[in-house]
Structure 1
Amino acid sequence: MRVEQIYTGCLAQGAYYIESKGEVAIIDPLREVKPYIRKAEADNAKIKYVFETHFHADFVSGHIDLAAQTGATIVYGPTAQPEFDAYIAKDGEIFTLGNATIKVIHTPGHTMESACYLLMDEKGKAKALFSGDTLFIGDVGRPDLAQKINKELTQEKLAGYLYNSLHEKILPLPDDIVIYPAHGAGSACGKNMSTETTDTLGNQKKYNYALQPMDKEAFITAVTEGLTPPPAYFPKNVMMNVQGYESIDSVLKQGTQALSPEAFEAAANETGALMLDTRSPQDFAKCFIPNSVNIGIDGNFAPWVGALITDIKQNILLVTDEGREEEVVTRLARVGYDNAIGYLEGGIAAWQKAGKETDSIESISVDELAGRMKAQPGLNIIDVRREEEYNAGHFPGSKNLALDYINDHISEVDKNKTAYVHCAGGYRSMIFNSILRSRGYHNLVDIQGGFNAIAASGNFNLSGKAAPVSE
């Protein structure tokens, strides 16, 4: 029996490959399914089951394509009502996989259909729990997402269900079993997740705040306080996971169509497509197509796409680094953005060679910023980090306009006044600058390296000095 965690950092998501005696189960697969199929072929094994812990909100699962291509059975826990062929398991039902068994444990709370899967060896000894979004390392699943679909389910009611599930179903399990959650730090599905992606249940009983001794009311308060609004794309991903979606192969075929500069320009004009430039922030700053938006592929790409591109059906035209077109289309599809309609063949160099119009954004080093602040005290500084980052350390007098809520903040930016924009490392500030640039704001200056570089330089008087943050 073998268990392999397949962790995708940009989504902070864990899928799982379990093999026993030539039979394979996949738990919570990503949208692109060929890696799972190739892995099974290399093991001379057959994918028998696709277990889903719940209807995911933060990504589109690959369950439908994987079942179609392998003949595997899709399995959900009790109360799930998918609009495609799937097996709805009973609480406590046991599935055989080679000489191992997998037991379904219904754990409503994060969502009502949420289920965990307990893996047992050939002797019936419990070895691992695939806990989905019910139990994370250091946290539990947020109880406010299902209410976006069912208004009768308040977050307090869901938190109460979660308390029951944890105390009646999970905590009584053996301390030595390994917890394999669906997410780690960086996911919006929890608020206090560890950077560790596995642990024993016994350790979690000691260190996970939500598993400490407390009554139900105290638990409800603990898990509901401090929740930030979930990204707008979450309910749309849930519905795709419930209703089904177009094959990933069709999405890739459409999105990886190579377009000449002329065809790209015509498509932008005729379809009103969003031009999404996925190059690095500094490459984008130097030269880009007017009105395009930068969300770099080498960062938390998919979550930022989901947070900022509000129309999941929006047609998208891509500008990418050469050779990364399929990667970009795949990562868009992971969060349900299936309407990429092609990419600029030859990239920005081809656009320039064709004599097409370009734009740029001024981007300066922290040394240049220090010089400008000395010459002109009281510069207008915009900090686009999250509130908790800002509170840990910032420029005195700077304005905190978090990228997460950019549409709420635009009216606070004066088009006629130069502003110097930074985040933690330079990724989010360029997204912010590019979005506002596309809306007619031409007086924004990007600060390279963000607050990490600002604090490290020692050239500035700051309110505290925040620890470096990876973006």
Structure 2
Amino acid sequence: MNVIQFEDKPLAHYSYAIISNNEMAIIDPSRDPKPYYELAEKHDAKIIAIFETHPHADFVSSHLQIHKETDAKIYVSKLVGATYAHQAFDDGDTVTIGDVACSAINSPGHSPDSITIIATDSENNHVMFSGDTLFIGDVGRPDLREKAGNMKAKREELAQSMYYTIKDKFNHLTDATIVYPAHGAGSLCGKNMSADPSSTLGRERNENWAFKDLTVDQFKNHILKDQPFIPSYFGFNVAINKEGADDFETTFCGVLFSFGITDFKYDDSLIIDVRSASRFKNNHLKGSINIIGETEEDKLETWLGSIVEPKEAFHLVINSIDDRERVLSRIAKIGYEKQIQSVITLGANKFETSKLFDIEDFKKHPNQYTIIDIRNTSEVGEGKIFKNAISIPLNQLRASKNEIPTDKPIVVHCAGGYRSAAGSSIISNLIDTIAVYDLSDAVKSFNE
């Protein structure tokens, strides 16, 4: 059995292809279908199936586009209520890809409509594509559907469903079964995932907390405790994936581009600047929010979809024409490309410059500053970096003007410096009567 794993690092998302006898199936594809087409060409394989383990919340899938462009069938649980052309794929259903038999297991818990796909080859090797049900070291969180359209599944019900999924659904599979999840460490679809890209069912049975001898109440208490926040875009993406997204290549081709501007006509739209913090501080449009998106380590997709609401219009400032396609592609992964009013590069004119931060004065007189800690609630729960800091998570910051004192200069910090660029720019937009500073990566010297 030839299984190829694809990784989307910013979203910690894994997708897969199975190739056997010149036939190919794709599991949980990303928004851009090109990598799967390139693989099919390389192996002279025909794409005949797309499996969706559930309607994903954290990214937009290309399943409908691949179906339209290859005539491959989409297989998904009937419980999804998908409005696109598909084949129901539930308990007892099997599809053959070359010499590989793919069967479905309904595995509710992360969502009520989740399935796990078991692939078995002619030598009786078993692989499970567990979607967001079983992760390496954890299981999928059960609370995402509370903000997903009209879904009425509650976290308590799904937590209990997950308990019985883990307890009963995989018992017929051997310890040698390879586990391929849809996400790894860094995803908000779970809380304690390993960075390992795969595992075995035997290892998970020995090491994963979810397989321990717990009562249903103990299991529910553990899985529901300290889950990360739910980004604004998650429910929006579930709805898109239930209908099927527009084609990736055409969805942002008509976005207005303004090159090297020396003047800007402000409107009611947000301005999102994805350049580095240093470039932003040196020159930016008034009112901009600095959500850095320069490398794969930068969590542009997650924080854009947490700070900006679905369908909320924004202008996009990039550093160079060379960045346009890359950044638009990243934004399309969460379905926000239609919200972009224009893409902009800045010319030689100076617009706004951030105030210089005297770090030495801050070290000597920290009490003369209001310190805003924008880390997540779970991070703050593990301990404050500054005892007197006011905790406001970054995803809540735009609505928190009344919680921020204005009697002293403000210093914004996160854990490593990436998020504080966004946080300080947001607070600067909320409060224009005092100086707002970004502690940036200097926070590390206080956190040792």
The TM-score range, normalised by the shorter chain, is: over 0.9
Residue 468 of structure 1 is matched in structure 2 by none
**TM-score normalised by structure 2 residue count:** 0.92
Question: Shift of the alpha carbon at 1:72?
Answer: 1.1
Contact 2:236 2:310 in 1 (8 A): no
Question: Shift of the alpha carbon at 1:230?
Answer: 1.3
- Name the aligned partner's letter for residue 160 of structure 1: Q
Residue 299 of structure 2 is matched in structure 1 by 300
Alignment of 1:153-168 (within 5 A): 153-168=153-168
Residue 20 of structure 1 is matched in structure 2 by 20
Task: Give the Cα–Cα distance (whole angstroms) in 2 for the partners of residues 197 and 392 of structure 1.
Answer: 30
Residue 462 of structure 1 is matched in structure 2 by none
Question: Shift of the alpha carbon at 1:315?
Answer: 4.2
Alignment of 1:354-393 (within 5 A): 355=349, 358-364=351-357, 368-374=358-364, 378-390=368-380, 391-393=382-384
Residue 47 of structure 2 is matched in structure 1 by 47
The question of 1:288 aligning with 2:278 is answered no
Question: Shift of the alpha carbon at 1:217?
Answer: 2.4
Residue 225 of structure 1 is matched in structure 2 by 225
Residue 141 of structure 1 is matched in structure 2 by 140
The question of 1:395 aligning with 2:394 is answered no
Residue 326 of structure 1 is matched in structure 2 by 325
Q: Deviations over 1:147-196 (max 9, x none)?
A: 33456422111122222222221243111111111111111111221122
Task: Give the Cα–Cα distance (whole angstroms) in 2 for the partners of residues 52 and 377 of structure 1.
Answer: 53
Cα gap change, 1:8/1:411 in structure 2, threshold over 3 Å: closer, same or farther?
same
Task: Give the Cα–Cα distance (whole angstroms) in 1 for the partners of residues 407 and 247 of structure 2.
Answer: 47
Indicate the percent of aligned positions where both proteins have the same amino acid.
Answer: 31
> Can you give the 5+ residue segments of structure 2 that lack an aligned partner in the other structure?
none
Alignment of 1:25-424 (within 5 A): 25-123=25-123, 125-149=124-148, 150=150, 152-255=152-255, 257-261=256-260, 265-266=264-265, 268-269=266-267, 272-297=268-293, 298=295, 299-339=298-338, 340-344=340-344, 347-348=345-346, 350=347, 352=348, 355=349, 358-364=351-357, 368-374=358-364, 378-390=368-380, 391-415=382-406, 417-424=408-415
- SS of residue matched to 1:190: coil
Residue 449 of structure 1 is matched in structure 2 by 441
Contact 1:105 1:169 in 2 (8 A): yes
- SS of residue matched to 1:359: coil
Contact 1:424 1:450 in 2 (8 A): no
- SS of residue matched to 1:370: helix
The question of 1:430 aligning with 2:426 is answered no
Residue 460 of structure 1 is matched in structure 2 by none
Task: Give the Cα–Cα distance (whole angstroms) in 1 for the partners of residues 74 and 172 of structure 2.
Answer: 28
Cα gap change, 1:435/1:101 in structure 2, threshold over 3 Å: closer, same or farther?
same
Cα gap change, 1:182/1:414 in structure 2, threshold over 3 Å: closer, same or farther?
same
Task: Give the Cα–Cα distance (whole angstroms) in 1 for the partners of residues 194 and 90 of structure 2.
Answer: 31
Task: Give the Cα–Cα distance (whole angstroms) in 2 for the partners of residues 375 and 151 of structure 1.
Answer: 51
Contact 2:398 2:426 in 1 (8 A): no
Cα gap change, 1:236/1:11 in structure 2, threshold over 3 Å: closer, same or farther?
same
Task: Give the Cα–Cα distance (whole angstroms) in 1 for the partners of residues 31 and 56 of structure 2.
Answer: 12
Cα gap change, 1:325/1:253 in structure 2, threshold over 3 Å: closer, same or farther?
same
- SS of residue matched to 1:251: coil
- Name the aligned partner's letter for residue 379 of structure 2: E
- SS of residue matched to 1:437: helix
- SS of residue matched to 2:5: strand
- SS of residue matched to 2:80: coil
Task: Give the Cα–Cα distance (whole angstroms) in 2 for the partners of residues 372 and 218 of structure 1.
Answer: 45
- SS of residue matched to 2:138: coil
Across the aligned residues of Structure 1 and Structure 2, the Cα RMSD in angstroms comes to: 2.1
> Between Structure 1 and Structure 2, how many residues are aligned?
441
Displacement over 6 Å in runs of 4+:
none
**TM-score normalised by structure 1 residue count:** 0.88
Cα gap change, 1:316/1:378 in structure 2, threshold over 3 Å: closer, same or farther?
closer
- Name the aligned partner's letter for residue 405 of structure 1: Q
Task: Give the Cα–Cα distance (whole angstroms) in 2 for the partners of residues 105 and 173 of structure 1.
Answer: 12
- Name the aligned partner's letter for residue 398 of structure 1: A
